[in-house]
Structure 1
Amino acid sequence: MLFAKLLPREGNFFEMFNQHADRIVEAAHAFSKLVANYSDPHLRQKFNQDVDIAERAADRVTHEVNKGIHKTFITPIDREQIHCLINTMDDIADLIQDSAETMALYDVHHMTDDIVRLTDVSVKCCERVRDAVKLLARIADPATAEAALKTCEEIDQLESDADRIMRSAMSKLFREEPDVRELIKLKAIYELLETITDKCEDVANVIEGIVLENS
């Protein structure tokens, strides 16, 4: 019996990665709906709650993965890669929740076109992260490994798009916003939204490393 317990085991890490990636996309879509319906207090609250639910679900998956690292004798990829990937993914979910909370805490009254544009890019980034993560279990196949690397390149491009949008938004904000308090609020939100795409790029970099080392 003791020998059986000591046999090498592979935790179901790829499935948990996929679950977490799905929660990230759920949070991103809920946040996008929050932005789109921001003028309706009831819908704003509903979609804020949806973001929280998705983020908490992502936290639970992160906890299971980190617990699995210590309980699994043989892992499908390097333990440090597993730890880095799941925790960087969790940072994305946290940042989406932070963005929603910041809007509420700062009492932002309306959405700007630049918030909408940054939100759209963030959602696309999160969807590409999910797509790349779902390929990890099959990267031994050269075509799948190539597809994963291509998806990571798309994430890098989206992050660059977000950088350009934020630079333009900041320039416009400092030139045209007369209310200093509103300027401070919007600046913080722009930076948070751009950081979501930064963190997606971090995940892409981790995935690239996993693909290159294991394919």
Structure 2
Amino acid sequence: MLFGKLLPREGNFFELFNEHGNHIAEGARAFLKMIENYADPALRQQYADEVDKSEHAADRVTAEVNRLLHRTFITPIDREQIHGLINAMDDILDLLQDSSETMSLYDVRSVPEQVLQLATLSVRCCERVQHAVTLLPHLSKPATTEAALKTCEEIDRLESDADRVMRSAMSSLFREQADVRELIKLKAIYEQLESISDRCEDVANLIEGIVLENS
């Protein structure tokens, strides 16, 4: 059955996915700006507030998707897929916000290069997630199906890159950091940042399943 034939006469799930994806990308870029300007307390707080703003906006979209599921008789894709996808997307922004708050709560005064590298990879992953969800309404087109699968593969590769950076960062941390408190702080931050790309990979896996089932 062609994907286009499954489109409902009611509901706007794809528009909501797109809106959430925009919030993910905005939150990730704000987080990266926070890291890049970490030495400036005012700018650091400004961008941390933007991460919070994106997370709160995305929460509202998630709530609307769940409300819409209860009101819509025919959905464009399986209900479990909709529920799983929007919640997996929400997990990404939750982690971005958690990472921002952890750095503040742990009173991190400066960030090593590996934190910037992981934040940069997080942005690239989040932007690929944003792109992937924009393709969902058009999976009846073979070229779109191919593009969606390619984007999911790119997210997988970026997750592998983040994993390598995290392992290298951990190795350097345990070899070079003499201050136990700083070691504990940075270890937690590295793990959180790497988890962002893990959650992006979770979304990619869900999208790949939707693509293969509905194209």
**TM-score, length-normalised on structure 1?**
0.96
Contact 1:9 1:73 in 2 (8 A): no
- Determine whether 1:152 maps to 2:149: no
| 2:3 aligned partner | none
Q: Distance in 2 between matches of 1:97 and 1:9?
A: 36
- Determine whether 1:113 maps to 2:113: yes
1:9, CA displacement in angstroms? 4.1
* Deviating 4+ runs (over 3 angstroms): none
1:140, CA displacement in angstroms? 1.0
| 1:4 aligned partner | none
1:109, CA displacement in angstroms? 0.5
Contact 1:122 1:193 in 2 (8 A): yes
| 2:5 aligned partner | none
Query: AA paired with 2:12?
Result: N
CA RMSD after TM alignment = 0.7
| Structure 1 unaligned regions, length at least 5 | 1-7
Aligned pair count reads 208
Q: Distance in 1 between matches of 2:96 and 2:9?
A: 34
**TM-score, length-normalised on structure 2?**
0.96
| 1:17 aligned partner | 17
Provide, for residues 145-201 of structure 1, a one-character-per-residue CA deviation record: whole Å limited to 9, x for no partner.
Answer: 110000000000000000000000000000000000000000000000000000000
Query: AA paired with 1:135?
Result: L
Provide, for residues 84-127 of structure 1, a one-character-per-residue CA deviation record: whole Å limited to 9, x for no partner.
Answer: 00000000010000000000000000010000000000000000
| 1:5 aligned partner | none
Provide, for residues 2-60 of structure 1, a one-character-per-residue CA deviation record: whole Å limited to 9, x for no partner.
Answer: xxxxxx74310000000000000010000000000000010011001000000000000
Q: Distance in 1 between matches of 2:157 and 2:40?
A: 33
Among all aligned residue pairs of Structure 1 and Structure 2, give the percentage whose two residues are the same amino acid. Answer: 69
Q: Distance in 2 between matches of 1:25 and 1:82?
A: 20
Contact 1:152 1:208 in 2 (8 A): yes
| 2:173 aligned partner | 173
| Structure 2 unaligned regions, length at least 5 | 1-7
